[in-house]
Structures are given as C-alpha cells and as structure tokens.
Amino acid sequence: MCYALALMAGAILALGAFVPVWWLQLGALLAFWPVFVLLRMVPVKHAYSAGLVFACAWLIPTTYWYYAFMPPWLAFAASFGFAALLANIFWVVLLRQRWGMRVVAPLFMLVWCGWLWARLHMPVTEDWWLPYSGYSLWRNSALIWLGGFGGEAVVEAVIVAVGIVLAWVWARRGWRASTALAVAIIAATVGGHFLVRQLPAHSASPAIAVQMMTRGGINQPATENDVDDLIEATDQALQERDTSQGAITVVWPENSIPTASESRLEKFAAEHRVRLVYHTNKRQGDGDYKQAVILDQDGRRILTNYKAHIAPAEDGTDWYTDQHAVSDGQVVTAYVCYDMHYPDIVKRLRGADSAYATLDDATYGYLQKQFHAADISLHAAQAGVPVTVASTNGPTIAVDSRGVVRQQMTGSGPAVLVVDR
C-alpha cells in the first residue's frame, strides 16, 4: 500500500510536467496528499525505500533530457542519484512515534522546501537543473503569482501544504471530507488562475519575436544566409505593423550572429526605426563569451550583457555583466538563454520596464523547454518585469509582470510572434 501511494504521487507530478494545458496540470496540486498519507502509515524501516519510489517515479521521467548531453549510464546515475538523495527526507518518520504527525508533517515541509531553496542558490547545486513540483503546475497563473513573493520555494510550499491539509482532514474526517476539500481547493485554484489574469500588470512593449533555427541545424551558428532569413521574416512582420505608434523591439533567438554581420544589423535597425535584440559571441584569447546585444532605433549599440551561466552541453566562458539601457524613454535589458533559469536573474531584471531573452533549447527536447518557460514566468513575476523571448525552436513567449504568459508560439518551426500591449 505504501509503495503504491509513493508510485502514484510521483507519477502524478511527472505527468503534470508533460501536459501542455493548465487545467490538465491541476491534478499535480494533489500529489503530496498521498505522500502525507504515506508518512502517516509507512513502517519506519520502509520509509526510505518508499521515498525512493516516489522520487524515482517523479524524477526519472522528467530528467530524460539528460540523455541529450550525457552518456546513458551517467544520465541515469544523475537522476537516480538525486532521487536517492531526496528520499532521505522521508526519515523524518523516525519522529512520528514520539511527536506525531503534527511535528513530522511541518518538519518534512520545512526540510523539503529548504533543500529546494538551498539547491538553487548554493554554488555547486545551483547547476543541477532538476525538476521541482512547481514545474508540474507552472501554467496556473495564481501559483506563479504567489511564487512572485518568494520564488520556487514558495510555490513548492503551497503544493506541499495542500498535501498536509488534505491528509490531515482524511485522518480526522475520512475520505469524503478530504475529497470534498480537494474539490474546493481545485476550484479555488481555477478561480485564482482567472483572477490573476485580470489583475493590472505591465505587459511587454510592442515587439516582434522571431523563432528560427539556423540552416545548419542544432548548435550550428548563424551565417550570412541565416541573417538573410531573419531579416526577411522580420520585414514581413513589420509590413503588417504600424510603426508610428512608438518603438517596436525585434528579438532574434540565440543563434550566434556573426560579427561580420553587425554593421548590416545596425543599418537594418536604423532604416526600420526598431530596437534590435540579438545574440552573438566575442572571442577573447581562448575564451568564447556569449552576448545579448541591443541596438537602438539609430542602429547604435546601447547594451551588451554577457552570459553568466554556461549550459552543460555548450562551449563557452562565463563573463558576468548586468546592464540596463534607456531607449525611447524606456529602461530595457536583455539576457542569454540559461541565465533566465537561475534565481540571480531576478535581481538583474529589476528596474527594467521591459526585458528580452534570446534562447536556444533545441538540444534538450520538449520538457526542458517547458521548464525554461516556467522559470521565465516565475522570475518575471518575482522581478515585476515583462519579458519577451525569442527561441530557435521554442519557447517563444511574451510574459507580463505578473508572470502570465500572454502570447506564445505553439509549434517548434519557423514563426514570428507579434507582441502587442
């Protein structure tokens, strides 16, 4: 029975991470309910193994993208190893006989959420891009809004707290009462989703985000032909826009625009009177430094931010910069891909009126792209800054200052997202 509960809870969290619709994710809000029922009844000698079943059922399916950049044995060892580490939290049942669930449940929540916060902020573990339960519910605007008050650990605490309350009601009042409460919680979460979407928020400034892979395919830098493709797609989108209403920002994906094309981009921005955000690399000695660049409507480079965090499968050197620029009366900033995952991006975003990000998630598959979108939504809510994202094959999205995804491309092929206020 205990192992069945553990397997069910982990599978619910894993499934929630994959589904593409917010209301289909709602079941994950109840995932910790069987966990706390399990903690109430599991024999102490089976606590760790039950926790391992839960963690494996959740983490092994949701870390499949590790296989894109690790040998199979190492990818499995990484996900299973973290599951084995996480399962140690289930040893809190050792306190159950003496103190009861009134101590075990809040202690589990404290350790669980505290470990998540520490993992995201400590120098070594911050690089472990592993799922947390919020990835299984990130499409719900109410939960992202709540997360804006404290980040991933707050979202995690809300989901874990729901499990504690439901398990407590089940123990005191039975399955009928706990089921009725679960329905009420789901209904409140649905209502919260629609309410937050109606709250006042700063939306992204008018923009055109181009989603396009280079002709060379995954991990191949852009050539002059790729620049031709980007300019052509942008030209077509601009022809359908009224540029007299203020500056339009054009955002291109993380595709390593060649430095030889930069004068051409300056001319393009000036002729079309647009801000242009793009990604390029700067060679310096043996280092390859990745940049997000903003050109203003006169074609002048007004911002260069270097990428602080290098993704596991890419070559490059981190060189942290954090700048904002003023253009057409707006404070703007831009960052590169992996930086948008880390919690330190919140501080870097704050103070901007609009932020832009260039992404390339093509190597890692569907699920990692959803995790990246979840991170961007949450960090936008924390910073209170709208973010427009252009990716090589997704996610290409526009997020408002409450973390609500207002517009998005649904496919992974070449496309243009026209962002309106």
348-363 residue pLDDT tens: 999 999 999 999 999 8
Same domain, 309 and 346: yes
* Beta-carbon count within 10 A of 5 CB: 21
Confidence tier at 244 by pLDDT (50, 70, 90):
low
Same domain, 86 and 231: no
Same domain, 88 and 215: no
pLDDT value at residue 242: 63
Contact criterion met (CB below 8 Å) for 191 and 225: no
Cα separations in angstroms, 349 against 141, 173, 367, 383, 401: 20, 47, 25, 6, 11
Q: Which domain-ending residue is among 159, 174, 198?
A: 198
Same domain, 165 and 48: yes
Segment 164-171 mean pLDDT: 97
Cα separations in angstroms, 419 against 22, 80, 129, 243, 393: 21, 41, 29, 13, 17
Q: Which comes out higher in pLDDT, residue 125 or 315?
A: 125
Q: Where are the alpha helices (DSSP H) in 199-261?
A: 224-239
Q: Which domain-ending residue is among 145, 174, 198?
A: 198
Same domain, 233 and 164: no
pLDDT value at residue 330: 93
Contact criterion met (CB below 8 Å) for 104 and 168: no
Same domain, 223 and 184: no
Full domain range(s) for residue 371 = 207-419
Provide the domain count of the chain. Answer: 2
This prediction has a pTM of 0.96
Segment 394-403 mean pLDDT: 97
Q: Which domain-ending residue is among 155, 178, 198?
A: 198
Same domain, 190 and 212: no
Same domain, 329 and 396: yes
Same domain, 236 and 122: no
Same domain, 285 and 188: no
Q: In what order do the strands lie in the sheet with 274-284?
A: 301-306, 287-295, 274-284, 248-251, 207-211, 415-419
Same domain, 306 and 278: yes
186-203 residue pLDDT tens: 999 999 999 999 999 999
CATH number of the domain residue 377 falls in: 3.60.110.10
Same domain, 272 and 252: yes
